[in-house]
Amino acid sequence: MGANLDWGNLGFAYVRTPYRYVSDFKDGKWDEGRLTGEDKIVMSECAGVLQYAQTCFEGLKAYTTADGKIVTFRPDLNAERMENSAKRLEMPVFPKERFLEAVDKVVAANRDYVPPYGSGATLYIRPFMFGSSEVIGVKPAKEYQFRMFCTPVGPYFKEGVRPIVIRVSDFDRAAPRGTGHIKAGLNYAMSLHAIVDAHNNGFEENMYLDPATRTYVEETGGANFIFITKDGKLVTPLSDSILPSITRRSICYVAEHYLGLKVEHRKVKFEEVKDFAECGLCGTAAVISPVGIINDHGKEIKLPSGMKKMGEITKKLYDTLTGIQMGKIEAPEGWIREIK
Given 69, 183, 230, 233, the catalytic residue: 183
CA distance 218 to 210: 6
96-109 vs 75-88: helix crossing angle, rounded to 10: 120
Query: Does residue 32 contact residue 21 with C-beta atoms inside 8 Å?
Result: no
Report which of 185, 4, 2 is spatially closest to residue 91, judged by C-alpha positions: 185
- Least spacing, CB of residue 338 vs ligand PLP, in Å: 20
- The stretch among 87-95, 208-216, 282-290, 311-319 that binds ligand COI (CB under 6 A) is 282-290
CA distance 146 to 14: 19
327 binds ligand PLP (CB under 6 A): no
- The stretch among 28-36, 42-50, 216-224, 309-317 that binds ligand PLP (CB under 6 A) is 216-224
141 binds ligand COI (CB under 6 A): no
Q: Degrees (nearest 5) of the Cα angle 56, 57, 61? A: 170
Residue 152 or 222: the one with the smaller Cβ distance to ligand PLP is 222
Q: Which does 243 bind (CB under 5 to 8 A by kind): ligand COI, ligand PLP, none?
A: ligand PLP
186 binds ligand PLP (CB under 6 A): no
211 binds ligand COI (CB under 6 A): no
For the chain, the helix, strand and coil percentages under 3-state DSSP, each to the nearest 5: 25, 30, 45
User: Binding residues for ligand PLP, how many (CB under 6 A)?
Assistant: 12
Whether 340 is catalytic is no
- Positions in 93-132 near ligand PLP (CB under 6 A): none
Task: Tell me which of 2, 18, 59, 306 binds ligand COI, using CB under 6 A.
Answer: 59
Residue 154 or 283: the one with the smaller Cβ distance to ligand PLP is 283
CA distance 63 to 275: 36
Site string for ligand PLP, 58-77 (x = CB under 6 A): -x------------------
Residue 65: alpha-carbon gap to chain centroid: 21
What sign does the dihedral 309-311-312-314 (CA atoms) show?
A: negative
Distances (CA, A) of 269 to 176, 228, 249, 289, 290: 17, 14, 20, 21, 20
Site string for ligand PLP, 16-45 (x = CB under 6 A): ------------------------------
125 binds ligand COI (CB under 6 A): no
Residue 125 or 279: the one with the smaller Cβ distance to ligand COI is 125
Report which residue type is found at 110.
N
Report which of 34, 56, 236 is spatially closest to residue 141, judged by C-alpha positions: 56
Residue 223 or 301: the one with the smaller Cβ distance to ligand COI is 223
Report which of 31, 250, 58, 82 is spatially closest to residue 150, judged by C-alpha positions: 58
Binding site for ligand COI (CB under 6 A): 59, 222, 283-285
Catalytic residue IDs:
183
Binding site residues, ligand PLP, CB under 6 A: 59, 219, 222-224, 243, 245-248, 283-284
